[in-house]
Amino acid sequence: MTAVPEHRRGPVVAALMLGMALAALDGTILSTAVPQIVGDLGGFSVFSWLFSGYLLAATVTLPLYGKLSDTFGRKPVLIAGIILFLIGSVLCATAWNMGSLIAYRVVQGLGGGAIQGTVQTIAADLYPLKERPKIQAKLSTVWATSSVAGPAVGGLLAGYADWRWIFLINLPVGALALYLTVRHLHEPGRTRARESGDGARTKRGPHTPTGTRPRVDWAGALAVFATGTLLVTALVQGGVAWPWLSAPSVALLAGSALLAVVTFLVERRAAEPIIPGWVWRRRPIAAVNLALGALGLLMIAPTVFLPTYAQSVLGLGPIAAGFVLSAMTLTWPISAALSDRVYNRVGFRRTAITGMSFALLALLAFPLLPFPGQAWQPALLMLLLGAALGLFQLPLIIAVQGTVGWSERGTATASILFCRQLGQSVGAALFGALANGVLTNRLTDAPGDGLPRDLDSVAHALDDPAALTARAADFLRRAVDSAVDAVFLGAAGAAALCLLVLLFVAPRRFPVHQDPAPDPDTRPSKATGAATEPS
């Protein structure tokens, strides 16, 4: 039995897909319009914060939104997130300089964090365990389509209209998503008091019949937000805006460590903590948090460094380079949609291990590609990688959502999404330092003086081959090839770490919480206990 009757699922699923499209497009549509934005507003030295600011706000607010959705219900959190995102979009379209645009992108990110986590949680509420790949495959298709279409749409709007339309086109999409959510998403009343998996009596869930006023741990929310802000800022800007061993990096990392201790103490004393201890005490959730963190880490290799490789080493244009990367997004949703046929036979853990094993092979194969090679070669590896990661990620998300009841699902979902995005921030910092280190080492023997010494500068230099001798250009291409090979080897290390987590931390079988949600016209029902995953 689902929280939404069969005849109401269609409009709600459409609302979820539109909401996901808002968050997904926003991460890709802006990339090709940066030259026009910088030309209009200036601020070239800080334009990277157009992306970092959004990522920062969306990441650090995920735990808060997850807890709020468990306390007050999914619908108000999703509605608030869409409205906040649209307000940010309107403000971005009115920006008068780079500073204001960055500030408004942070507002967008605050809404985007609510959309990402809540959409995934509602998707799990809508469908029983065996049917969840259907909705997850649709959401994965939205991400894949956005990855392919986003840069092209952004370039067209910036080139033939105005870059401000990149934000304004969010309004009709968001308005329709908002209407469908308000009109068709109806959450049932349910009993708030329940027994948690750790034996503690908790009070969670919307529409409490007992009259108990829900409590929000605002002190913990502020502590989590402050800790995450300092940590993600240090990871995103370290080695970019300032050196890693500089005073700003040391101060931010030390501050985040101190605040992490404060957060732990605050959350330990809170009656309803934003990040409950059971998120890490329960083995299935802790294992998936670590595994998805490793996924975020390794995803930096294809998403950040493959386009540079395609353009600088293979000599492709930006659009062709994007299509090499998009090969991964073609097989990912297909693999995710079919994953239930695998995990219903062998279980969640074995399915995830199989997917990550193939991902490890694809990552290890990348450094073996010939120099300079052909575009179809990395594209073929991306096809394999996408299929492997679709087989890995979706079963683990469904497994975690299946281990908890309605009143904990938002928090559990937010925790794994938070770990995945934190892993991406760590990966960007770690692999960026690795790539520049390898490049610097290779360039010590560079022919001639005056050649660039970091990856971004080398990529820009190769965009203007007339300024380089044939020997220098070939040397730089080989240096970039070595740097990207090192990153993919590092990503393979992250994949191996993920396999170790799945083998030695994840349970052999994930427990399945039997918590059928009633239809709106029926009385609330209690959880019927726990079972084991399908096998």
476 Ramachandran zone, left/alpha/beta (phi>0; psi -120 to 50): alpha
pTM over 0.75: yes
Helices (runs of H) and strands (runs of E) counted in the chain: 21, 4
Highest mean predicted confidence (pLDDT) among 224-238, 244-258, 314-328, 466-480:
244-258
pLDDT at 206 over 60: no
Q: Which residue has the tokens 């971005």?
A: 92
The answer on pLDDT for 389 being more than 70 is: yes
pLDDT(110) > 50: yes
At residue 247, the pLDDT reads 87
Using CA atoms, how far apart are residues 357 and 345, in angstroms rounded to an integer?
18
Give me the mean pLDDT over the 397-410 stretch: 88
Query: Of the ranges 291-295, 359-363, 447-451, which one carries the lowest mean pLDDT score?
Result: 447-451
Please report the pLDDT score of residue 171 as a whole number. 92
- Report residue 5: phi and psi, to 5°: -60, 160
Provide the pLDDT for residue 193.
38
pLDDT at residue 501 in the model: 95
Can you give the length of the chain in residues? 535
Q: What span, in angstroms and rounded, lies between the C-alpha atoms of 31 and 33?
A: 6
Q: Residue 507: helix, strand or coil by DSSP?
A: coil
Beta bridge partners, 532, equal: 511
Select the highest-mean-pLDDT range: 327-331, 433-437, 472-476, 486-490. Answer: 486-490
Supply the DSSP symbol for 304: I
Q: How confident is the model over 34-56, as a mean pLDDT?
A: 78
Q: Is 524 helix (H, G, I), strand (E, B) or coil?
A: coil
